[in-house]
Amino acid sequence: MTEDNSIAARLVQVRRRIDDAALRAGRPPDSVALLPVSKTFGESAIREAVAAGVRRFGENKAQEIRSKYEPLADCGIDWVMIGHLQTNKAKDVARMASEIQSLDRMELAIALDKRLQQEGRSIDALVQVKTSTEPSKYGLPPDELPDFLRRLVRETPTLRVRGLMTLAINAPDQDAVRACFRNLRQLHDRMKDEAIEGIEMNRLSMGMSGDFEIAIEEGSTEVRIGTAIFGGRIYGDEYYWPEGKSGA
Ligand SMILES: *Cc1c(COP(=O)(O)O)cnc(C)c1O
């Protein structure tokens, strides 16, 4: 028998690995959601995933959500913004995304809220926190989180805060990766204890193709998986969407 390498088959395989990791950690498998990340993949790959039952997709560029939104409008997709968002692209996300997981600064929250008010919409938001020391990773410094959450409640009513998101350090050292996830989990628990009015702290988006099993052991409620479902991305994202050349 030949190996079934279809997107549908890989979705099943990934889901099984998620379930196994949850069970190993003593957690119910349905406590961990799967967010397939379709960045750099086109309409046909996404339609294959839709046919296999996926309705939520993660993307890391506003321009890419915009270019996929119309052609795939018949699929009823919820687009989830998971990448660094420039303030001047807030409009696209306010119009087309159902959620942002990369909310990492007040300036962006205010720009999104203004556009969302204009659209008459509100969206779910996870705050992206920096849990590694790598200089390239975006995210709010952990010590700024309590004040940030209080300001969001007061100033940006169209953003419904639901939890936290992080990217772990990109390193072979599994203990260092685990420490990032554990930091986010502990921060989440502390914020939950503070019980800030207007803030729900129920979701922890952490874990990607290379590290999601560790993330689940550390309490992830949502893993963002691209490569293990859609295959390798041949070029870096910057190859297709160089900053500043997007024609926005
Ligand atoms: C690309 C991306 C992922 C998925 O990465 P894979 O390694 O392909 O699973 C997850 N989160 C963010 C923020 C991403 O940009």
3-state secondary structure of 103: strand
pLDDT band of 106, cuts 50, 70, 90: very high
Ligand 1, atom 7, lies closest to the CA of 209
Question: Does residue 247 carry a pLDDT above 60?
Answer: no
What distances in angstroms separate CA 147 from CA 99, 108, 150, 186, 188, one per listed residue?
22, 15, 5, 17, 14
In short, whether 83's Cβ falls inside 6 Å of ligand 1 is: yes
Residue 184 within a domain: yes
Q: Which domain holds residue 216?
A: 7-230
What is the average per-residue pLDDT within 130-138? 82
In short, whether 37's Cβ falls inside 6 Å of ligand 1 is: yes
What is the average per-residue pLDDT within 228-248? 60
Structure confidence at residue 210 (pLDDT): 95
Q: What is the mean pLDDT of the chain?
A: 93
Residue 145 within a domain: yes
What is the average per-residue pLDDT within 214-241? 84
Tokens of 168: 């772990």
**Range in 28-32, 79-83, 170-174 with the lowest mean pLDDT:** 170-174
Tokens of 31: 């406590």
Per the structure, the count of domains in the chain is 1
In short, whether 60's Cβ falls inside 6 Å of ligand 1 is: yes
Q: Can you give the CATH number for the domain in which 122 is found?
A: 3.20.20.10
Residue 235 within a domain: no
In testing the pocket of ligand 1, which one of 17, 99, 208 has its CB within 8 Å of the most ligand atoms?
208
Structure confidence at residue 245 (pLDDT): 37
Residue 240 within a domain: no
pTM score: 0.93
